[in-house]
Amino acid sequence: MPLPQLTLSLQFGHLQDPAPHRAALPRHKVARWIRHALEADAEITVRIVDAEEGQSLNRDYRHKDYATNVLTFDYAAEPVVMADLVLCAPVIAREAQEHGKTLTDHYAHLLVHGTLHAQGWDHETSEADAEAMEAREIDILAGLGIANPYASR
């Protein structure tokens, strides 16, 4: 079965050191990771931000005053998934280092995670939902040749 179609906008905000993030996120890989997590055609914007922008968005939209790794703003799930995925570069870099993962693999995981959120998956509603979403992420990432991101827990 062919993968869903994706219209992708990849944006980089003002980062202190953008080079490692740009290197970890070539457009063709970002599109591949997202398309493997999609269940329908999509229009998605991915924006890589600094801690200040990440914290501001998380505070304004989730009422949590800290920078988080990924925020998903979902606008439509049918007939076309429409969403913005905002990833906070310094948080992702720190987490990748703390968990002994490559920056590229951690970005792949969080893009898959955010894409699932854009389609209605939610790990905060119940333990069963969290387990189902985690299992789906593991399956998608395995299909992309990326190790289980939860194995080190």
Cα Dmax for the chain? 42
Please give the Cα distance from 82 to 91 (Å, whole number). 25
Q: Is 28 marked as binding a ligand? A: no
Which long-range contacts does 90-96 make (Cβ < 8 Å, 24+ apart)? 90/16, 90/50, 90/51, 91/51, 91/54, 91/67, 93/20, 93/21, 95/69
- Known binding positions: 113, 117, 123
- Known binding positions for Zn(2+): 113, 117, 123
